[in-house]
Structure 1
């Protein structure tokens, strides 16, 4: 269970994001103590994240520092693996202290029974080739082999391929993931709240008895979800405070 208010953001793509996006994120994290009950990062905080035994990506260091500060202050931080930062390990779990989670997250989020997934690979037909590739890229043997590459060279290769991935993200305006949400929220075991990222399309709508939400991409605009027992809000961070753009109350 994560206590509310829960702040949830996705797809910052640090490393290729504009400096303004990183500065806005740092300012949000610094403002969270005393305001938020928990933080959830729904994937792709980094455009590329990989951990060697003694090396880590250089970009976004200030964000990592602020996350460690939040954890040290007692704020729960959950990081759901995305398709760009799915190779997290000891640095995130042990040194920074976040709860790094691979696959769907299920639990209570600010008083709502919730399922969170980043959203990559969920479209049945369109994402079939990607799912096959993903099984290779995340295989322990592939990860072990990649660690033999020099970090500078490996990072250049990864950023080149991640550029292609960003350009090839769902071009259907989020309709593919919205279709998946409709199926999930009309199922027998539907949660009260279903959250995706990945599409970069901010969404907040009621489907059946549940709510489907996507905070959009922090890379594009400093938006996030704020979840309390009474409502789910899509909000924008203006550098000093959250400005609610849309909200849905509990049915």
Structure 2
């Protein structure tokens, strides 16, 4: 065993909101190729990768059927998983209907809720980030419907040809319903920022890392605790990197920052 090679695999990477499948097949494949290029760049240093939700713009998994496509991205992750890299997949609000395909076939670790863990003496709290705004009544109602077992079974009774077409259309409509103002930074009034502040009152956390907002940011909370959002992978291709001492928000377009 090459122990020197294993020792170099000591970094953790966080990324979210690729939204593969959106807005069309051509641009999605191009974005997928860029994501694979990023994975190839971090492959030699990645001990773990946290995919923080909405990796797919829509995903509904049947017992024996999964959506077609995304083979470049999933194949690369499977290769890295086979080589010992831990791949954590968090369900987002666009790709929450998972069964066991990722776990059994690709070796992923599936998370349906946010995760708290300790690494190198630091406390991390990570997840997609949806549902943290307790005042969002519309989201609460939709989330209850989407996670209802009866509703899921009824939807699964549809032929995949129709179910996936309906789901993809809904996902696009959901995205188009948002205004640009929905993605503007609200400063300390950001629901996720407020969630972090309130959480710190009861439990210390060094790093809160979420996606969902499509708003890339790195904000100090208090006592050197930080809230980081990995944004969406469309323009600057943001991700966060933990090297054992420092957590850094980076852009893949800035190749000189990739080691």
Pick the TM interval, shorter chain.
Answer: 0.7 to 0.9
Question: Residues 1-251 of structure 1 correspond to what in structure 2 (within 5 A)?
Answer: 4-16=10-22, 18=27, 19-109=29-119, 111-125=121-135, 127-168=136-177, 171=182, 173-174=184-185, 175-185=190-200, 187-209=201-223, 210-238=225-253, 242=257
Q: 1:49 touches 1:84 (CA, 8 Å); kept in 2?
A: yes
Q: How many residues align?
A: 240
Q: Which runs of 5+ in 2 are unaligned?
A: 1-8
Q: Which has the larger radius of gyration?
A: 2
CA contact (8 A) 1:224 1:235 kept: yes
Does the CA-based 8 Å contact 1:6-1:110 persist in structure 2? Answer: no
Separation of aligned partners in 2, 1:65 and 1:93: 14
Deviates further, 114-123 or 96-105:
114-123
Alpha-carbon distance, 1:129 to partner: 1.8
| 1:172 CA displacement | 5.2
Counterparts of 1:110 and 1:162, CA distance in 2? 38
**2: CA distance, partners of 1:146 / 1:161:** 13
**1:65/1:136 Cα in 2 relative to 1: closer, same or farther (>3 Å)?**
same
Cα RMSD of the aligned pairs, angstroms, is 2.1
Structure 1 gaps of 5+ residues are 245-251
**What is the Cα deviation at residue 149 of structure 1?**
1.0
Match of residue 249 from structure 1: none
For normalisation by structure 2, the TM-score amounts to 0.85
